[in-house]
Amino acid sequence: MKGAGLVLNTISEGFISVWLGAGIAYVVVLIYVFFSGVMGVGWTNTFQGIFMLVIAWFLGIYLPKALYGGIGPMFEELLVSDFKQALTAPGLDAAGNAWNWWGFSSAVIVSAMGFSMWPHFFMKAFAAKSDRTIKLTVVLYPTFQIFLVPILVIGFAAVSSFPGVTPADSILPHVLLNMDLPVVLIGLVCAGTLAASMSSGDAIVHAAASVAVRDGITKISSVNRWLKAGDHERLLIRIAVVVISLIAYYFAVFSSTDIVSLLLGAYGGIAQLFPIMFVMFYWPRANGIGALSALVTGIITTLIFLYFPDLKPFPIHEGVYGLIVNITVLISVSLATKPESEERIRRYIKF
């Protein structure tokens, strides 16, 4: 939402405010998620993914050529600029300051774990029509990294030619508006940027609403009886989609945090699913009580260090502290409580 608002605000030269731009983009998302569910999310993600991949590679080749004469000359100029630290690890943080190895390494670890743990990825797998589709998805999934290559090139091309852009997250539309490009091309590029935002937002909103209803609200006995009396589950999910979208919109509009920091903060929480997912396959002694306790304590620990960074004994990502607590609680509580029955374990694992 924040990215969509910044794009529309920048290309309209401030005529459309950030809050209005975010609202317009996500009203569209809300409509098709509300009425079409996972099928709508799947098909829009397909078309949006193709569109933004084409746009990203076009810009990744065009911008260095137009601004520097090519990708090689661009990197040569960066090597003698104030941004040369961005070319070597640990590089620069979101504010443009020198990053330490503690923060850089821990952010990479948490990002890798968190990126693979988003619940909407699992939901897409469950919606697959066959085992072959799931296997094919797993094989092709790493190719997403190809999409990141032109994104990095675009960032390098823009950061030296247009320094001091505020907010930094609006750098791409700012560059396009100052390069005297055809209006149609600017519109297509910004549409691709919006597609990138929407293709993530719709899946996350749908997943959050489905999990809230299926794994939360329906566990309440009185609500479950009401659901069994009629087909009300879809209605509850639709209501949850609206509520979650409104909550996310509030934080997106009133948050002053940059997009990179928002992502890293989100990864810290979502990465707490990784130890649970790992032991689900490789340590049958783990049980539900241990998993739930680990998840709750890991998230709480992550949030404490996120909002009170001065409490950190070492300058590492707060998600790592959450993982340390998470793994400790998962092992200790699982060993101290009754194990799951062998019958239940066999339902999930073949010995």
The SS3 of residue 272 is coil
Query: Is pLDDT at 129 greater than 90 in this prediction?
Result: no
Q: Which is nearest to 170 in space by CA: 297, 35, 5?
A: 5
Check: CB of residue 8 under 8 Å from CB of residue 25: yes
Cα end-to-end distance, the chain, whole Å: 45
pLDDT score of 323: 95
Tokens of 18: 């950030």
Query: Is pLDDT at 351 greater than 60 in this prediction?
Result: no
Check: CB of residue 6 under 8 Å from CB of residue 18: yes
Comparing 306 with 12, the larger pLDDT belongs to 306
Where exactly are the structural domains of the chain? 2-256, 272-351
Query: Is pLDDT at 226 greater than 70 in this prediction?
Result: no
Residues with Cβ within 8 Å of residue 242, at least 6 apart in sequence: 30, 34
Tell me the average pLDDT of the chain.
Answer: 81
| Cα separation values, 253 from 159, 298, 307, Å | 25, 27, 19
One-character DSSP codes across 223-256: HHHHHHTTT-HHHHHHHHHHHHHHHHHHHHHH--
pLDDT score of 228: 59
Residue with tokens 């070492």: 314
Q: What is the mean pLDDT of residues 219-224?
A: 66
Rounded Cα distance, 293 and 296, in Å:
5
pLDDT above 90 covers what percent of the chain? 13
Q: What are phi and psi of 92, to 5 degrees?
A: -115, 150
